[in-house]
A and B are shown apart, each in its own frame.
Chain A
Amino acid sequence: MRVVLVDAGGANIGSVRYALQRLGVDAQLASDAEEIRGADRVILPGVSTAATVMRRLRELDLVDTLRALRQPLLGVCVGAQLLFEHSEEDDTPCLGLLPGIVRRLPAGEGIRVPHMGWNRLQRRVDDPLLADIAEGAHAYFVHSFAAPVTPDCIAASEHGAAFAAVVRRGHVMGAQFHPERSAAAGARLLHNFLSLEPA
C-alpha cells in the first residue's frame, strides 16, 4: 500500500511518519500532485496555522488535487480543520470538502485555550474508523480552533463546548487530536484508516 503524507510544512510530519512506521507502513512525504493522486492513502498533517498550510498548498498547486481525491484522505489537527469550508483563524478559506466553519474555542471559567492535553472521545456514529476505540477513550489534543459538531462528526469531545474530534464523510476523514501522540487509541485510528475498504 502506498501511503503519502502531504508535505505542507507542518512540524508534526515526522511524528506522523514514525507512528505509521510503528504500524509497519513506510509513508512517503509528497508535495507533487502526481505522487499524491497515485497513492492509496493520503494524510494531510499540520501543526501550524490554517493560513500557513493553505498558502503552502496553493503554492504547491495542490488545492484542486486534494479536492479531487477519491482514495481515503485523513486530515490531522490543522489538516482536519482544512477539510471544512472556512476557518476563523486568520479568516482563511479552506478546502471545502466538508460543510462547516472552524471557529476559535471559547475560553471561560476553568477552560483554557489552547486546549492542551488528554480528553475523552464521545462516539456519535459507529464507523469503521473508530473500530476498537473504546467509548470515552482519551486522545491527545493541542489546538485553539475546532470544527463544529455536524452530521459528519463521528466522535465529539468537549472543552467548554462540544466540538468535532473525528469527522468522516465517505473517503474524507479528519482527526482533531494527534493520533501519533495518543497512545493506543491513536495507533488504532491510524490502523483503521489504513485498513478501510476502498469505497
Chain B
Amino acid sequence: MLARRLIPCLDVRDGRVVKGVRFRDHVDMGDIVELALRYRDEGADELVFYDISATPQQRSVDRGWVERVSARLDIPFCVAGGIRDVGTARAVLHAGADKISINSPALERPALIGELAEAFGVQCVVVGVDSIREADGEWRVRTHTGDPERMRAPSIRTLDWVVEAQRLGAGEIVLNCMDSDGVRRGYDLEQLRAVRARCGVPLVASGGAGEPEHFESVFREADVDGALAASVFHSGRIRIPELKRFLHAQGVEVRDD
C-alpha cells in the first residue's frame, strides 16, 4: 500500500535556506544541504525547495545548489520557483531534481505544462495552485503570491484549473489553500475534498498544518497523497519521527524505515 507522504518545504534564496517574515526580511536558516539531510534523517519522505530568488525578479538563478543537494540526498526532491521554460526545467532536472513544480508561469501560459510533460514525462511535472475563497463563495486561483505587491487574481476557478492542468499533463497537484496558510488551524478539508474529487493524479495538501491531528484528518478525510508543511517543521513544533509514530498508531500508512 502506498504510504502517505510528509513533505517539508524549504524556501531557498541564493543557495541558502531562509525564513521569510511577512514576505520580507528573510532570516538565514542555514546551509541547504545540511538542512535537507537533517529532514531526511528525521524521516521526511520528500522535500520541496521553493526558490524564492527567482519568480519576483523574473530571472533564472544559479542551480548549483540543486546539484549539491542531489549528490547527498537519497530521497526525492522537487524544485519550485522561477521555472518558466523547458530549458530551465531541463537544467534543474539534469542537476538532479526529481520533479519540478510550476505555478504562476503555468497560469500565464498553460501550454507550458504540456511542453514539460512531453519533454520529461508527466511524473516530473507538478503544478502548484494557490487558491483562495472569494466573496461569492467560489475558490479562485492567485498568482505571484510570493510578493504581496505583485499578487494577481486571474478570474479562474480553482476546480476548473485543476481539471485543465491534468488534461495538459500535470502529474501531481499541490494545492495551497491560502485562507488556511500560516494559521495553523488545520488544512482546508472542504476545499481539498472538492479538489480530490476532480484530481486523478497525486494530490498534495498545503497550508494550515499546526497539530499532528491535522495531518491525520487531511489524509483520512480529504484522501490526499501527501501533506506539505513548512513552519511547523522548521520551528520544531512538530517533529517528523513523532508525527509518523502518531499517524501509524492512528492506522495511517506511513513509511516507517
What is A's interface to B at a CB cutoff of 8 Å?
Answer: 11-12, 14-15, 18-19, 21-22, 47-49, 107, 110, 112-120, 134, 137-138, 140, 142-144, 158-159, 178, 180-187
Chain A residues near B1 (CB-CB < 8 A): 119-120, 158
Within 225-257 of B, Cβ neighbours of A (below 8 Å) are at 225-226, 255-257
The closest CB in chain A to the CB of B73 belongs to A181
Give Cα distance in the complex from A141 to B256, angstroms: 16
12 contacts between A and B (CB under 8 A): A11-B93, A11-B94, A22-B74, A112-B199, A112-B201, A117-B45, A118-B45, A118-B255, A120-B1, A140-B76, A159-B2, A184-B257
Q: Using known A-B contacts A14-B67, A14-B94, determine if residue A182 contacts B5 with beta carbons closer than 8 Å.
A: no
Number of B residues near A (Cβ < 8 Å) is 39
B120 lies within 8 A of A15 (CB): no
By secondary structure, the A interface counts as mixed
B95 lies within 8 A of A14 (CB): yes
Closest CB in chain A relative to B109 CB, distance in Å: 22
The closest CB in chain A to the CB of B95 belongs to A14
Give Cα distance in the complex from A186 to B123, angstroms: 19
By secondary structure, the B interface counts as loop
B18 close to chain A: CB less than 8 A: no
Give Cα distance in the complex from A183 to B3, angstroms: 15
Give Cα distance in the complex from A35 to B94, angstroms: 23
Give Cα distance in the complex from A158 to B2, angstroms: 8
Among B3, B67, B74, B94, point to the contact of A117 (Cβ < 8 A): B3
B257 lies within 8 A of A178 (CB): no
Chain A residues near B203 (CB-CB < 8 A): 112
Closest CB in chain B relative to A174 CB, distance in Å: 17
The closest CB in chain B to the CB of A133 belongs to B257
Give Cα distance in the complex from A3 to B46, angstroms: 28
Chain B residues near A158 (CB-CB < 8 A): 1
Closest CB in chain B relative to A33 CB, distance in Å: 24
Chain B residues near A107 (CB-CB < 8 A): 200
The closest CB in chain A to the CB of B3 belongs to A118
Give Cα distance in the complex from A120 to B254, angstroms: 10
The closest CB in chain A to the CB of B171 belongs to A114
Chain A residues near B225 (CB-CB < 8 A): 112, 116-117
B202 close to chain A: CB less than 8 A: yes
B71 close to chain A: CB less than 8 A: yes
